[in-house]
Structure 1
Amino acid sequence: MTTVTNRSRRKLLLNMARTGALLPFAGQMLGQNVYAQTGRAQRVLFLYYPNGVVPYNWRPAQFDGGIGGSQELSFGLGPLANWHDRLIVLRNLTLDIGSGAGAHYNDMRGILTGNKDISASSASIDHLIAEQLGSESVLSLGVRTGSKSDIMISKPRNVGTTERPIPNNDPRDVAAKLALGIGDVDSPQSDEMRRIYEAILDDFDSLANATLDTARRSKLAIHENALKRLKDQSGVQVGECAFFSTDVLSDPYANSTQALSQTEWQMFPHLCRAQIDNIVGAFSCGLHRVATLQLSKGDENGNLVNYSYDECWQMAQQALDQGIKPSQNGDPVTPMTRWYNEFASHSASHRPGDVPHTAQVRWYHSLLAYTLEQLNHKGLLDDTLVVMFSEVGDGSQHGGAAGSVTLAGGAGGALNTGRIIHCGNGSNADPQRIWGTHQLFGDVARLMGVNSLPEAHWSGGVV
C-alpha cells in the first residue's frame, strides 16, 4: 500500500471533509459499506408494549407542533425528557388492525399487518421492509410472550396468521446465535483494517478545528460515527460486538406456560434490557437492519400481563406522589373513593386501575429511553429509527381508536423531530379521520429506502 505522510494525509482529509466527500472516499478505500448516509434511516426497531395507555396520563401538554422543552411531556412519557428533541409523538393515530377486532390478541396480531386476519401470502411491515432490502432478515425477539402463535405481532410471508413463529425469548440464546454471525475477529485482514480506521480517526481531532458550516460539521460527526462502527466491526472488541458474553442473562421461564410469581416477574425489566442490548449489538455489528421486539402479551386477564416488578411499583408510588389519582370509568376529574386494587402493581387483574397502568406505561417508556441511550453510545442513533406502539387505543374500549405511537431517533436526518403530530379524530370507523398506522408504517418503509411495497394501503404521508 502506498505510504502517505501524516501531513499530506491530514490535508487531503481536511479538504474532503470541507466538501462533504470524506464518507464516500472512506467506503471505497476500506472496501466496505459505510452505513451512515444522510437522508435515510439505516436500521429500524419496532418496539411493542401491551395494553395501550391511560390517555390523559400519556398525552403531552402540547396539542400539536414543536416540543418546546421536556416539561411538555406527560408523566407516561416522562423518562424521555432528555430525548424530547429526538421524538415524534403521534396523538390519535388510528390503529389499523382490521375489522371485527375487539380482544387484545386480535388487536396484537393486526398491529404490524394492518389486518388481524391477513392472508398467508402477505407479511407484517417489518418483514416487508426486510424483503425489499434484499437478503435482510428480521431479528424477531420477545420477552415473556408466551407460546400462543396467534398473538404474535410479527408475521413472515407464507405463514398463516394464527401460526406465526414465536420470537426468541431467551437473551442468552439470542446472543449465542448472533455471535455466530460475527466471524473471525483475529484475522490479519481485520488487524490491517483496524489500523487504517485508527489512522483516519486520528485526523478527526484536527478536522474538528476546521472552519466548517453547521451542515458540514453535522456530516463530519456522522462520518466519524460510521468509521468508529466500521473499526469495531473489523475485529477490535471495544464493546460494540462483545454482546455474546456468557454473562448475558438467560430466562429460565422463556418457554413456560405457567403463571409466574411476583419473584419470578422481577426478572422482567432485566430481560427487556438484555434483549435491547442484543438488538443494539446486532445493529452495531451489521448483522441486522430490521428488528422487532415484543414485550409480553396484550391481555390483562389471567395474570398474562403483570405489574409485579419493583421498578414498576416504584413508578406507581411516584405517580401518587405527583398527584396522579385513580379515576372512575376513565374520568380523571372524578376520583374513586379509594384505590380499589392496592395490590395492582403486584398482581394483575382485568382492570388494574389507572395508577398502576400509568406506571407501567411510564416504565415501558423508560425502556425506550434506555434504547436511545444504548444506540447513542454506539454511535447509531443518528441513522436509526425506533417505532414504539401498543395494540389498543383510547383506553375506553378494545380497538384501534386514538392510538399512541412514538417515533424516536435520527433516521439519517430525514425526520424533523422534537414535535407532536395530532393525527385526527382517532376513530377507525369515521371516514373523516386523517391518519392511521397504514400511512405511518408506509412512511417508515420509505425512510428505510423502501419505495415499492406490495400493498397500496401503506401509503405514507404522516411524518
Structure 2
Amino acid sequence: MRRRQFLSGLAAAAAASPVFGLFGRAVGAPLAGNARNVIIFYYPDGIPGKSQDGEGSLWTPSAPGGSVVLSPVLEGLGDDKKDCVFLNGLTMGPTDSGSHPGGAKKLLTGVDGGNGISLDRYLAGTLGAGTPHPMLYLGVQANVNNASGDKHISYVSPGVTVTPEDSPLAAYASLFGGAAPVAGTPVGPDATDVSVIDGVLDDMNALRSQLGDVEKSRLDLHLEALWEVEQRIKAPQAPVSASCDDPTVAMPFGASELYLPERFPDLLRAQIDLAVEAVACGLTRVVTIQASHHTSELIMSRFPGTPLFEPTFDMRSHQASHYGNKHDWNKKEFSSYVKQRQWWV
C-alpha cells in the first residue's frame, strides 16, 4: 500500500460516521465485532536508521516483489508482519532531525516544539468520546527523576504536556475500583464533588488581571492542563460485566519498586496488560503507553531474563544511542543499541 493511499484512507476512516455507531454499546461489556481502538506505544532514543556514513537502515523493512522482508530490528514480529502497515519516508524535518527532545515534542503533535495538541488527545475527543476514560496515559518509569515538560509526549494543548500514570497499581485501582475504606474511618468530601481549581479560582482571576496577554495565555494553558488531570483522576468508574469483574493482571512488584531498573520488564508487561483489559472491557478506546523518556538513563543491561542482561556492565538507553557515525558491531554501544531496539519490538 502506498503511503499516500494509506494516509488518505486513515483520514477518511477518522471522519466516517460508522465508527461512532460503536458508542452505543453498553460500557463495561467485552468488545465485539469490528471495534476501533488505538494503543500508541512509545520507547525512547530512536532507531538504528541510515548511518551518517551511508550504511542502510536496520529498521526499515524492504518489499522486493511486493513481499515484505523484515529488517534485523523488526524480525521479532515474525508472522505478525501480515497484520502490519509499515510507513516509510516520514521525517522529523530539519528543525528536529537528530534531536531527542525535538523528536519527542513532534512525535504525536506533528509540530515543531510540541506547539499543538497530540494525536492521542485528539482521538480522546473523537474516538474516545462516550467512554468512562476518553483515553489512558500510562507510563513505565516515565516520571523517573521528577521528569516533566517535554519529557512527556501527550499534549493537551500547544506546549502543555500532562503526566502519565507510572504505577500499574494505581492505574488498576482507577480502572477497576480500589479498596473500600476501613469501617469507622472518617470520610472526607466526595472527591468527585470537589475541585482544587475552583478553590483557588478567585486568586487566579486576581492574578490574571495583573498579567499581560502572553502571560494570561500561558496561565490559561496551565489551568487547562490541571483541569484535565483532575478530570482524569475523578473519572467515573464503569460497571463491569462478569467477564470484566476483577480482571487478573500479574503485578510481581510493590509500590516501592516502581523505579528499579530490574523491575522495568514486569512494570511494562503490567501496563500493557492493563491497557488490553481496559480496551476489552470498554473502559477506553485510546491508550498511550510511554516507556521511560527521551535521553533516558534507563539501565537496560539490568533486565533479568532478557538478552540484554549483563549484571557486571551498565548500558543505558541514551548512552547506547550515541554509538557514532557508523554501524560498528564491534562497538559495545552499537551492538547494545540494536539489541535494545529488538527487545522493544
TM range (shorter): 0.5 to 0.7
Aligned amino acid, residue 236 of structure 1: A
Shift of 1:87: 1.2
Structure 1 residue aligned with 2:294: 298
- Change in 2 beyond 3 A, CA 1:235/1:106: same
Which position in structure 2 is the counterpart of 1:58?
59
Residue deviations 1:54-96 (CA, integer Å, cap 9, x gap): 13332334358333xxxx3233112210312111222332246
Q: 2:85 aligns with which of 78, 84, 88?
A: 88
1:242 and 2:246 equivalent?
yes
Match of 2:43 in 1: 49
Contact 1:111–1:153 (CA under 8 A) maintained in structure 2: yes
| TM-score, normalised by the number of residues in structure 1 | 0.45
Secondary structure of the residue aligned to 2:150 is helix
Out of 294, 299, 303, the position equivalent to 1:309 is 303
- 1:151 is matched with 151
Aligned CA distance change for structure 1 residues 94 and 241 (closer, same or farther; 3 Å)? farther
Q: 1:306 to 1:177 in 2, by over 3 A?
A: same
Which deviations, in whole Å up to 9, do the C-alpha atoms of 1:334-388 show, x marking residues without a partner? x47x43x4xxxxxxxxxxx2211111111111xxxxxxxxxxxxxxxxxxxxxxx
- Asked if 2 retains the 8 angstrom alpha-carbon contact of 1:251 and 1:271, the reply is no
Task: For 1:265 and 1:29, locate their aligned partners in 2 and report how far apart those are by CA, in whole Å.
Answer: 41
Higher relative contact order (CA 8 A, sep 6+): 1
- The aligned residue for residue 115 of structure 1 is 111
Task: Give identity over the alignment, percent.
Answer: 25
Q: Which residue of 2 aligns with 1:142?
A: 139
1:164 maps to 161
2: CA distance, partners of 1:143 / 1:166? 12
Q: Which amino acid aligns with 1:75?
A: P
After TM superposition, the structure 1 = structure 2 runs for residues 34-433 of structure 1, keeping only pairs within 5 Å, are 35-38=31-34, 42-55=36-49, 56-62=57-63, 65-67=66-68, 72-95=69-92, 99=95, 103-119=99-115, 122-133=116-127, 134-136=129-131, 137-146=134-143, 147-157=147-157, 161=159, 163-180=160-177, 235-237=241-243, 240-243=244-247, 247=251, 249-252=253-256, 254=258, 264-300=260-296, 303-304=297-298, 306-310=300-304, 311-313=306-308, 329-332=324-327, 335=328, 338-339=330-331, 341=332, 353-365=333-345
Matches of 1:362 and 1:246 in 2, distance apart?
Answer: 24
**1:306 positional shift:** 3.9
Using structure 2 for the length normalisation, give the TM-score. Answer: 0.59
**Residue 143 of structure 1, CA deviation:** 0.5
Contact preservation (8 Å) 2:302, 2:309: no
Residue 43 of structure 1 and its aligned partner are, at CA, apart by 0.6
Q: 1:32 to 1:314 in 2, by over 3 A?
A: closer
One-letter amino acid of the counterpart of residue 50, structure 1: P
- Structure 2, unaligned stretches of length 5 or more? 1-22, 50-56, 179-238, 311-321
AA paired with 1:151?
K
**SS of 1:355's equivalent?**
helix
CA distance in 1, matches of 2:117, 2:80: 32
Equivalent-residue separation in structure 2 for 1:102 and 1:108 (angstroms): 11
Distance in 2 separating the partners of 1:290 and 1:29: 16
Give the partner amino acid of 1:79. G
Q: Whole-Å Cα distance in 1 between the matches of residues 264 and 109 of structure 2? A: 27
* Matching residue's letter, 2:241: G
Aligned AA for 1:355? S
Contact 1:58-1:75 at 8 Å conserved across structures: yes
Q: Check the 8 A contact 2:249/2:273 in 1, yes or no.
A: no
Mark the CA change 1:176 to 1:273 in structure 2 (over 3 Å): closer, same or farther: same
Which amino acid counterpart does residue 90 of structure 1 have in structure 2?
Answer: L
* Bigger share in strand: 1
Larger radius of gyration: 1
Letter of the structure 2 residue corresponding to residue 47 of structure 1: F
Residue 205 of structure 2 is matched in structure 1 by none
Indicate if the aligned counterparts of 1:108 and 1:153 stay in contact, CA closer than 8 A: yes
Deviation at 1:110, TM superposition (A): 1.5
Q: Alignment partner of 1:288: what SS?
A: coil
Conserved 8 A contact 1:172-1:249: no
Distance between the aligned counterparts of 2:140 and 2:27, measured in 1? 38
Q: Would you say the 8 A contact 2:308–2:336 is kept in 1?
A: yes
Q: Tell me which residue corresponds to 1:18.
A: none
Deviations 1:194-247 (A, max 9, x none): xxxxxxxxxxxxxxxxxxxxxxxxxxxxxxxxxxxxxxx86334xx55336695
Measure the CA separation in 1 of the matches of 2:336 and 2:289: 23
Q: Counterpart amino acid of 1:313?
A: L
Post-superposition offset of 1:293: 0.4
Deviation at 1:252, TM superposition (A): 2.5
> What SS does the aligned partner of 2:154 have?
coil
Partners of 1:247 and 1:117 in 2: CA distance: 36
Asked if structure 1 preserves the Cα contact closer than 8 Å seen for 2:27 and 2:281, the reply is no
Q: What secondary structure, in the 3-state scheme, does the structure 2 residue paired with 1:57 have?
A: coil
Q: Which has the higher helix share?
A: 2
